[in-house]
Amino acid sequence: MSSPFPPSSSAPGKGCLIVGQSPQKLSCLSKMTFQYPLKLISPSPASHHKSVLVFLLTYGGGLVGGDQVNLTIDVQKASKLSIATQGHTKIFKSPTPEVTTRQNLHVTIESGSALCLLPDPVQPFGESVYEQSQVFTIHEKGSLCLLDWVSAGRTARGEDWDFWRWSGRNEVWMSTDEQSKPRLLLRDNVLLDSPIVDKELNLVKKKMQGLEVFGTLVLRGPHVESLAAFILKEFAALPRIGARDFRSQEKKEKDSSIVLSHEESWRRDRLKQEARDGVMWSAAKVRGCTVIKFGARTVEGGRVWIGGMIKEEGSMVQCFGEEALMCIR
Amino acid sequence: MSANLDSSPSREAVRDEIQHLQRRLREAEARLRGTTSSQDAIPKVLASDGPLAASSQHYLLLLSDSALPLGSFAFSSGLESYLAHTRPKSSFPDFLDFSLSSYASTTLPFVLGAHRDPTHLIELDDALDAAIMCTVGRRASVAQGRALLSIWDRSFAEARPAGSSLDVVTCLKDFALQLRATSSAVSSAGPVVSAHLAPLFGAVASILGMSPQQTAYVFMLSHVKALLSAAVRASIFGPYHGQKVLASTDVQKGIQRAITREWNTKVEDAGQIVPVMDLWIGRHEMLYSRIFNS
């Protein structure tokens, strides 16, 4: 006997998310489907929410070896979406190096809309194999704020970049209209693997130079323009490496008694934090996108640093609401 | 170069060797018959000898020459910044290792891609431009790429080997024209043609008849030579030690390993395998005193 129900179109790990604009000019979810091991949760909408908040979750807080997650997101005209996670996305160990855990994200950002993706870092356990691909197709007037970061694993258990393989791909394509082919603006691939032939020699650990977390922040579009400009300005204002202080003792004392502006004192405190937590970062403009790469000696140090930058500038809270920033505070 | 990677040049070398041996056999037979005196046996004009006779080998030597005016001496590929960031624990062998694998993983697929099909030069150039994440690295790549394009235009184009295909040559010409056209009208999304070193090197080497193996090896070796030259000028060690490192089996194996790893990597899959390298190169601008441009 044939089933009276139509065949299911959902596959394991598949999800779809569409955000549109309601007649009241509020962003609202128009579709949200997902299947194990992927889980999406969205708090009920309220008029004071500046963007739709969706939690990107997985059952058990992580992906077991071989899990595949495929999420498609469409942020329709003039709507805003924020995506957060609840804690690190754990990547559990794979039975063999051939079993790959995958997470694919396809996002379309239409004209005037904005996506803020500020998750917790991915935490690959020892002997895990992980591939992540995030492809964003943005309309000329769409905005994107993307944070992608990875940690050294369970450092409390002595793990230090002990996975078998980790690869992350972030692509930004720009579309002007529906007919023409999207143009590649940015392709940021990071590939980390250690050859398993030699167990004693962990090449990834050596390459990471004592960093416990490494991340990339990509900014593009009108909604994040002021944040991008702020970070580029802070990068240009970094003290020169290897510079010496030629001031006399008297001059130093005189200078230290001057009351600093808020900006200057914030910068001074941030520089202290950077030195304390071994934060190393650089920022650059790449074909209309602003790319910030950073590493820190502790995950917490990295979180404090990136959170501090975004909060100090302030436009993200105004645009997406406090909730969007919950993973970095 | 290993035998499996290098099948066609080694076959060429064997053919040359056979010719060489045949000639020696003829000479020896002539001597045996006593028809020629020993003085006449010395040829008036130096006969082309061994594998260096082929024109591709000639261009191989030109492209690997440190006098090739690419301006590579102005760049340290992050070495200067690495030293400033890791002092006093800096280790040149470590950096060389990082730099070799990082340079190969980010650029070698583009060299090989352009060598395989030089007609896709513009697309490859655009894709590489999208994949360079720092201003300093982009500047270094573009400066050397433009220099190579000028060398091609002004010096190599007329001397190209007879066998080279014409549409590839016109492709390079188009590329140069488009570069000039875009540099005057810069859009916010960035120019389509930026003339990065890697794809241009592959295309030029392909026209000059070099094999993909030779191209990859020379490309990587030039990088090592530029690094060592920078290290000598940054007073890490002296020129003799520099040559010692350059001649070492470590460097040979390192280059070979990097080439083997990237041999089949698609352009879309090229990526950074030493993430800290982007930080070091990107932070070069933050150094108080600099002797290099990258």
The pLDDT-based confidence of A81 (bands split at 50, 70, 90) is very high
Option in B85, B98, B273 nearest A192 (CB)? B273
The pLDDT-based confidence of A136 (bands split at 50, 70, 90) is very high
pTM (predicted TM-score)? 0.87
- The answer to whether the CB atoms of B85 and A280 lie below 8 A apart is yes
The pLDDT-based confidence of B187 (bands split at 50, 70, 90) is low
Is the predicted pLDDT of residue B31 greater than 90, yes or no? no
Structural domain for A251, as ranges = 13-328
- The answer to whether the CB atoms of A293 and B135 lie below 8 A apart is no
Mean pLDDT value of segment B105-111: 97
Task: Confirm whether A22 is domain-assigned.
Answer: yes
Task: Confirm whether A5 is domain-assigned.
Answer: no
- The answer to whether the CB atoms of A187 and B126 lie below 8 A apart is no
Buried b (16+ CB within 10 A) or exposed e, A159-175: bbbbbbbbbbbbbbbbb
Is the predicted pLDDT of residue A155 greater than 60, yes or no? yes
**Cα separation of B146 and B194, whole Å?**
8
Helix (H, G, I), strand (E, B) or coil at A198: coil
What's the pLDDT at B47? Answer: 47
Is the predicted pLDDT of residue B45 greater than 50, yes or no? no
Spatial neighbors of A97 by CB under 8 A, at least 6 apart, are: A129, A164, A165, A196
Residue whose pair of structure tokens reads 């999800």 in the numeric block: A15
Task: Confirm whether A8 is domain-assigned.
Answer: no
Could you tell me if A222 lies within 8 Å of chain B, comparing CB atoms? no
Query: What residues pair up with B196 in beta bridges, in sequence order?
Result: none
The pLDDT-based confidence of B3 (bands split at 50, 70, 90) is very low
Task: Confirm whether A3 is domain-assigned.
Answer: no
**Predicted ipTM beyond 0.90:** yes
Which residue does chain B place closest to A288, by CA atoms? B189
Task: Confirm whether A6 is domain-assigned.
Answer: no
Mean pLDDT value of segment A171-185: 86
Could you tell me if A188 lies within 8 Å of chain B, comparing CB atoms? yes
What's the pLDDT at B113? Answer: 96
- The answer to whether the CB atoms of B279 and A280 lie below 8 A apart is yes
Mean pLDDT value of segment B225-252: 95
Is the predicted pLDDT of residue B1 greater than 50, yes or no? no
Which residue does chain B place closest to A184, by CA atoms? B130
Nearest to A214 by CA among A284, A167, A267, A273: A167
- The answer to whether the CB atoms of B271 and A184 lie below 8 A apart is no
A-B CB pairs within 8 A amount to 107
What's the pLDDT at B162? Answer: 66
Selected for mutation to probe chain B from A286, A291, A294 (highest B CB count within 10 Å) is A286
Is the predicted pLDDT of residue A281 greater than 90, yes or no? yes
Task: Confirm whether A284 is domain-assigned.
Answer: yes
Task: Confirm whether A82 is domain-assigned.
Answer: yes
The pLDDT-based confidence of A77 (bands split at 50, 70, 90) is very high
A201-255 per-position pLDDT tens digit: 678 898 999 999 999 999 999 999 999 999 999 999 999 998 888 888 888 888 8
What's the pLDDT at B7? Answer: 54
Q: What is the dihedral of CA B213, B223, B70, B190, to 10 degrees?
A: 90
Residues of chain A found within 8 Å of residue B276, distances taken between Cβ atoms: 207-209, 211, 214, 280, 295
Task: Confirm whether A7 is domain-assigned.
Answer: no
Residues of chain B found within 8 Å of residue A294, distances taken between Cβ atoms: 279
The pLDDT-based confidence of B46 (bands split at 50, 70, 90) is very low
What's the pLDDT at B185? Answer: 52
- Please state the domain count of chain A: 1
Buried b (16+ CB within 10 A) or exposed e, A23-38: eeebbebeeeebbebb
